[in-house]
Chain A
Amino acid sequence: MSRTKYIMSGGLAFSEQKDMEKLRKFSSEGWHVRKFSFLGYTLEQSESADYVYSIDYRTLDNDTEEYFELFKDSGWSLVDSAGDIHLFRAAPDTKPIYTDRDTTIEKYKNQKKPLKLAMMALVPGTIISWVISLQTAGSIHTLFFGLALLLTVLTIPLLWTALTSYGNQWKAENKKGLVILTKLLPAAAVVAAFYALMESDLKALQIVASAVIGAIVFVAFITFLMSLYHRIKVKKA
């Protein structure tokens, strides 16, 4: 029985590069990633080795064999696939899996795909729930109000993730202004929500504003904790 342990991912849209460096560091300590797990990776202990890791996003229909063979021939062996996300590892001097800008942009377009689908479902759903809850009374109002609130809290981190994923694509396209925008927008949303909270007498708007602030602060807090944890870990090693 080999020993295993779990490490958390920083969220691939947010910190793919950091995740890959972390996995490399763990490998050098003898802990090799075996598979994707809920919001992270499962590592297994064996002899230490220097491996580099890379992620690709791709919807594979029937021709998985050709795809994985191409990577294998190039020195990249598959660690695990989770849906459209594929994790590979290789010796440190192996050529990278993406070698030009145009296909790197395609990579981040593929990363965005599932986020876009989720947005198409959640964003209209959230808006419709708010509209219904505002125009009804009694138990139907309560029901849709609860639903709207729940959907808002889910939608905000999703929008943030999608925004970051757009940022990844824009970074690959060298659109620096837009990348900065993706970092400023969440902060701007908090400021706008605070303003709404202070200035508006509408109860519903105040609650939405609170939900927006709550969701963003919550995600930011988790991200902060994880980077702190990561930093402490690196220092200790």
Chain B
Amino acid sequence: MKNNDQLTDSMFHIMAALTTPQHGYAIMSLIEETSNGMISIGPASMYTIIKKLLQNEWIYLYDDSDSRRKVYLLTEKGRNVLAEDLKIRKLMIQLAEKGLEEEV
């Protein structure tokens, strides 16, 4: 995943959750709860994406006192990437909302 690519949905959801410090399973639970069970992320996908976000330096290891449940948080760089992506997603949501309103 190059830095100028748009985030995948899963990456976006995980980064949105990591605006506050969380460990992997807490991220999964938060995403599932927030989306009323409509969106879920499997452990293999979760682990793959955590490694990728670390590699991109979009998140960092915030607390590793429990080696079984390491806690991560967005970096400054990660916050910027998320903010940029959010802008594009908002534009598309506006397009959909506007279109749906007009139809009625």
Contacts and interface: CB of A to CB of B under 8 A. Distances in A.
A95 B40 contact: yes
Contact of A99 (B42, B68, B69): B42
Contact of B25 (A65, A74, A98, A104): A74
Interface stretch (B43-51, B77-85, B95-103): B43-51
Given A66-B69, A66-B70, A100 B46 contact: no
Nearest to B1: A102
Given A63-B67, A65-B67, A103-B49, A70 B10 contact: no
A71 B25 CA distance: 9
B4 interface: no
B21 interface: no
Interface in A126-166: none
A97 B43 contact: yes
A214 to B, nearest CB: 38
A97 B24 contact: no
Contacts of A103: 10, 44-45, 48-49
Chain B at the A interface: SS class: helix
B67 A70 contact: no
Contacts of B41: 99-100
Interface string A93-127: 00111111011101100000000000000000000
A99 B40 contact: yes
Interface in B1-60: 1, 8-10, 24-25, 28, 40-49
Contacts of A67: 47
Given A66-B24, A70-B25, A98 B8 contact: no
A216 to B, nearest CB: 33
Contacts of B44: 54, 56, 58, 71, 97-98, 103, 107
Contacts of A95: 40, 42
A106 B1 CA distance: 11
Interface string A64-89: 01110111011010000000000000
Contacts of B49: 103
A66 B43 CA distance: 11
B25 A73 contact: yes
Contacts of B45: 97-100, 103-104
Task: Indicate the member of B40, B44, B70 with the most A CB atoms within 10 Å.
Answer: B44
Interface of B: 1, 8-10, 24-25, 28, 40-49, 67-70
Interface of A: 54, 56, 58, 63, 65-67, 69-71, 73-74, 76, 95-100, 102-104, 106-107
Given A56-B44, A98-B42, 7 more contacts: A69-B69, A70-B25, A70-B43, A73-B25, A73-B28, A97-B45, A99-B45
